Every structure is written in C-alpha cells, then in structure tokens.
Amino acid sequence: MRTSFWSLEESAVSAELKRFIAEKCAQVRAEIRAPGHQMGAESQSLFTAAENGDWRGVFDSLAAMHKAARERQSGSTRWNSQVVYPVEWAAVNEIGAALEEFAAGEEKYAIAFARDIIASIPPGSIYFAGTDPGRFLVTALSQSHVNGDPFFTITQNALADHRSYLRYVRGMYGSRIYIPTQENTTKAFDEYQEDARRRRNQGKLLPGEFFEEAGGITELRGQIVVMAINGALSKLMFERNPEREFYVEESFPLNWMYPHLTPHGLILKINRQGPFELSSNVVQSDHEYWTRYIEPMIGDWLNYDISLPEIVAFVERVYLRHELSDLAGDPRYIQNDIPQKSFSKLRASIAGLYAWRAQNSKGPAEKERMLKEADFAFRQAFVLCPGSPEAVFRYINLLVGQKRLDEAILVADVAVKLEEEAKAGPEPRAHIQEDFSHKPIVESQTSPPKLVTQLGSLLEQLKRMRSR
C-alpha cells in the first residue's frame, strides 16, 4: 500500500539517482551497434529526457514502455525485427526498476536496504543480487555500477542469459573479473540436461522439472532448470575468481552455496572454505544484529520466549485489524508491503541457512541449536511480512518437519486471512522485467488468487494430518 507520493526531485537521494541515470545514459551512448540497428524510439525518448533533466519525461517514457510491454505480452502488437541491444535494454530495465522501487515503497527503507548492504561488502568483492530490491536498489546507490565501485554487482537470476545479460556484464566487468561465456552456458545446460534425462529414466525428476517436445527435439523446461544453470554459472564464477570475496542476497536457494554460507548482516557471505559448523559467536552476532535492526520496524517484543500464538495474535491485531495505536514500531512500515517483503526475504534466507544446517548436522546437539535459530529467524521473517509466501511456506515446512502441526496450522490460517484481504484490494504492482528472449515482460510480484488457493490447500492438508 502506498502511504505517500514520491518525487525524484524531492528524494533524499535525488543527486545519487540522477548520477546513476546519467551514468547509464552514457553507457548506452557509448555502445557500438551493428549498422541498421539504431536505438529504439521508446529508449531514445527515455534517454533524451534523462539527459535533458526532464524527469517527468523519464517517467512518461517508462509508463509508455509499460503499456507497450503489456500490449506485446497480450499479442495485440508485435515486436519488429530490430535487435534490442543488451546495454540499451539493461539500462532501461535498471533505471525503471530502481525508480519503481523508490516510488512504490517507503523511501527511508529503500535507502536503508541499499546502503546497509553496500556498507557491509568490502571493495573489490563480487556481489550476487537476487531479488529486485537487492539488485536494483544496490545498483542505483552504488558509487558506480559500471565501474564496479565499490564492488561488482551481478544478478544471479540472469546468468543463463548469455545472449543479453552476460554480454552486458562482460562489457562492464570482463577485463577485471571472469564472466561466464556462451560456451560455459551451453556446457552447463548440456550437463544438466544429461543428468536430468538419467534421473527421468530412474523416476527421480525434481518437482518443477519437465521435458517438452518442440520441433522433434525433446528438451528440459521450467524455472527450476534456469535456476540450475544460474547456479552452475555462479559456482564457475566463484571458482574462476579465487582472489575475490563473494556475497549473495539470495533469490532461489542454490544448493552448492549452502556449505559455504555464513550470515553477514542483511545478506550472506560465500566463504572459500565452508565452515564445518556455524560457531556460537556467528549465530549470536546474527541474532543480535537482526533483533536490533528490526526493532524500529516492529518493536522490541520478539524474543525466544514469545510463543507462536502470541506472534499470531500480534499479526492479526496489527496486519489484519490495523490496530496500530499500541504499536512500538513504525506504522509506515506496517502500512507498506514493499519494505515488508524486502526485509522478510532477507531474514528468511538466513533462516533457510539455519534450517539447512539443522538437516545436515553431525549430531543431535548441533541439530537442536540450528533448529532453534532457524525457528527464531523464521518468526522474525514472518512478523516482518506475514503475507510473504516464502516466509510462510518455509516456516511451515520447518514446523511440519518437527511435527508441530498445531503451530503450522496457526501460521497457515492467518496467512490465508491476510491473502484473502489482499485479494480484495488493488492489484499488486508490476514493472518491466527481462526474460531470456530480449523482450520486456510485465510480471506482478504475486498472484493473490493463486496464492490463496495454495495456502488454503495447505491449510486443509495440515488439518487432515493432525486428525490422523
């Protein structure tokens, strides 16, 4: 929910955003193009407006591109054959998405999100961004994204896109760090597909993996496939840049990373030698950091001793009934689901690391220690955004694994109520994003009716499990 009107001119980071936009304009202007492939009219309008300081024109151009993207997606208009060059499209995507993150959210939280991540990463490191805020806010408020100052920002979600995104990143960073090639991408896909064929014959395909026949060729399809390729290429980067430190703001969990991860402020560090276990000092530091960090948002009441029914009661009072008079936190945070989702996602990612550690622990004491911290971190993620599908589903998985069905039902029940309320409200925001065919698409952050169905089904399943 928007609680205030945002203006670029009046933004606390106006000068930084204008510098960022100017840098992206210069990057596009310097691009070498093949003859006959001039900049598209829509992009030309946006960059001309930005270079002239016509910020209303920038937003008008972005709005026109939204409209055109929706029409193209619906099939009411067709793309012409002109190539959309990687730098041009990436710059448009990054400018538009960064401005939207500020316009749709609460600015002070957008700034804190970006600056606190930036401040935590040593210069010269490689940072894998995952979510839209983790990519676009950090990109916009870095000293220079193009020059990798203070670090190299790369989204883990588009590494499989060798035609566009890798070309774009290689143009910026290829002389300083190793960036995967088209050959790397092809090899990663071939190896993954060969393994998947073997598992298909054994009846061991993973959920989300499926083969599809097109033109007499049977190939693996699905989002999980793209993320598997992204995972393989991110691992290759980690191995081929041994002198660099690596950090990640998680999108989808990448299995190869888990043994190497430790909490690092809002994000995670990918260590060269994976720790055999997370030390008590590391866990305690993370616990204290997050407890202190979220106090201004939700208050200082959440600790180990608070029961889950008390947490659910808080969620119902504050998020469902909107009773904020006794809230010790920030009403503006509670009233805007953009920062809620952003910070909840960060905390759920760290909670997921603890859950993985518990599952792969060497003994019962270590498992208990990790389960305790996973539970607490998931509770924080849930309270930060009780409407977050990731926080809800991952926490329920943890509870079910411990046979805590009554508590899982509590979480699922209040999540269903929240999503039913969201379904009755306005449509969620959308922005132009990229797929793997150079075309912008308009994609909502969530799909409330579908999510309500999923949560409702889960709730019924949990109740049946309890009655057995």
Same domain for 298 and 271: no
Same domain for 286 and 233: no
For residue 278, what are the β-bridge partners?
A: none
Same domain for 403 and 291: yes
Q: Taking residues 184-205, report their average pLDDT.
A: 89
176, amino acid identity: R
Q: What is the pTM of this model?
A: 0.88
Give the whole-angstrom CA distance, residue 127 versus residue 431: 23
Higher pLDDT, 37 or 289: 289
- Check pLDDT > 60 for residue 56: yes
Q: Taking residues 21-25, report their average pLDDT.
A: 93
Give the whole-angstrom CA distance, residue 293 versus residue 266: 9
Same domain for 303 and 440: yes
Same domain for 325 and 262: no
For residue 430, what are the β-bridge partners?
A: 444
Count structural domains, the chain: 2
- Check pLDDT > 60 for residue 80: no
Domain hosting 410: range is: 281-467
Give the whole-angstrom CA distance, residue 120 versus residue 113: 11
- Check pLDDT > 80 for residue 7: yes
Q: Which among 275, 304, 334 is the end of a domain?
A: 275
- Whether 269 maps to a domain, the answer reads yes
- Whether 61 maps to a domain, the answer reads no
What is the pLDDT, as a whole number, of residue 439? 30
- Whether 97 maps to a domain, the answer reads no
Same domain for 296 and 249: no
Reported for 457-461, long-range contacts at CB under 8 A and 24+ positions apart, including other chains, are 458/393, 458/396, 458/412, 459/409, 459/412, 459/413, 459/416
Lowest mean pLDDT among 58-72, 278-292, 390-404: 58-72
Same domain for 385 and 254: no
* Nearest CA-CA partner of 126 in 278, 237, 10: 237
- Whether 79 maps to a domain, the answer reads no
Query: Are 399 and 411 spatial neighbours (Cβ–Cβ below 8 Å)?
Result: yes
- Whether 38 maps to a domain, the answer reads no
Mean per-residue pLDDT of the chain: 86
Same domain for 225 and 320: no
Q: Taking residues 39-45, report their average pLDDT.
A: 82
- Check pLDDT > 50 for residue 309: yes
Same domain for 315 and 173: no
Neighbour-count burial of 74, counting CB atoms closer than 10 A to its CB (0-12 exposed, 13-18 middle, 19+ buried): exposed
- Whether 181 maps to a domain, the answer reads yes
Q: Taking residues 322-334, report their average pLDDT.
A: 94
Query: Are 247 and 267 spatial neighbours (Cβ–Cβ below 8 Å)?
Result: yes
- In 10 A of CB 47, how many CB atoms? 23
What is the pLDDT, as a whole number, of residue 425? 58
Strand 440-444 and strand 430-434: the pairing is antiparallel
What is the pLDDT, as a whole number, of residue 337? 92
Identify the band that residue 76 occupies on the pLDDT scale cut at 50, 70 and 90.
low
For 248-284, the pLDDT digits (tens) are 999 888 889 999 999 999 999 999 988 888 999 999 9
* Nearest CA-CA partner of 156 in 222, 27, 246, 284: 246
Same domain for 306 and 243: no
Identify the band that residue 1 occupies on the pLDDT scale cut at 50, 70 and 90.
very low
In the numeric block, which tokens belong to residue 448? Answer: 């409330």
Q: Which among 226, 252, 275 is the end of a domain?
A: 275
Same domain for 455 and 311: yes
- Whether 395 maps to a domain, the answer reads yes
Q: Which among 256, 275, 294 is the end of a domain?
A: 275
In the numeric block, which tokens belong to residue 306? Answer: 């608070």
Same domain for 254 and 329: no
Tell me which DSSP letter residue 125 carries: -
- Whether 25 maps to a domain, the answer reads no
- Check pLDDT > 60 for residue 305: yes
Neighbour-count burial of 60, counting CB atoms closer than 10 A to its CB (0-12 exposed, 13-18 middle, 19+ buried): middle
